Amino acid sequence: MANEFLTYKGKPLVRKGNEIYYGDMSDKFVARFEILSSSKDGKLEIADKVAIQLLKSDTDAPIEERIVKKSEKNTLFDALDLGFTWLERALME
């Protein structure tokens, strides 16, 4: 059970604080999402600004060299959709 992760479209989705990583670190690329701001809808926190980065998964390289693409979206769903598309395309190359 310790190695079971929430998945999105078949890939691991791991959250730590305001950061979410999507993909398998053994692959060449992963997507990183950072929740920049959120608002309350009743008792629920809704992300309303999310930064997306497509990263090389080589953790030995400085973060500046690992960033392949970046963008921002206004919903977590839109961010996940874009991150999924970027990651799938990068992994097919």
| Tens of each residue's pLDDT in the chain, 93 residues | 456 778 888 889 999 999 999 999 899 999 999 999 999 989 998 999 999 999 999 889 898 899 999 999 999 999 999 999 999 999 998
What CA–CA distance (Å, rounded) separates 35 from 46?
Answer: 10
User: Residue 17 falls within a domain, yes or no?
Assistant: yes
**pLDDT of the residue at 93:** 86
**pLDDT of the residue at 86:** 97
**pLDDT of the residue at 2:** 53
Total tally of structural domains belonging to the chain: 1
| 26 φ, ψ (degrees, to nearest 5) | -80, -10
**pLDDT of the residue at 1:** 44
Output the pTM of the full model.
0.87
Domain residues for the domain of 42 are 6-92
User: Residue 11 falls within a domain, yes or no?
Assistant: yes
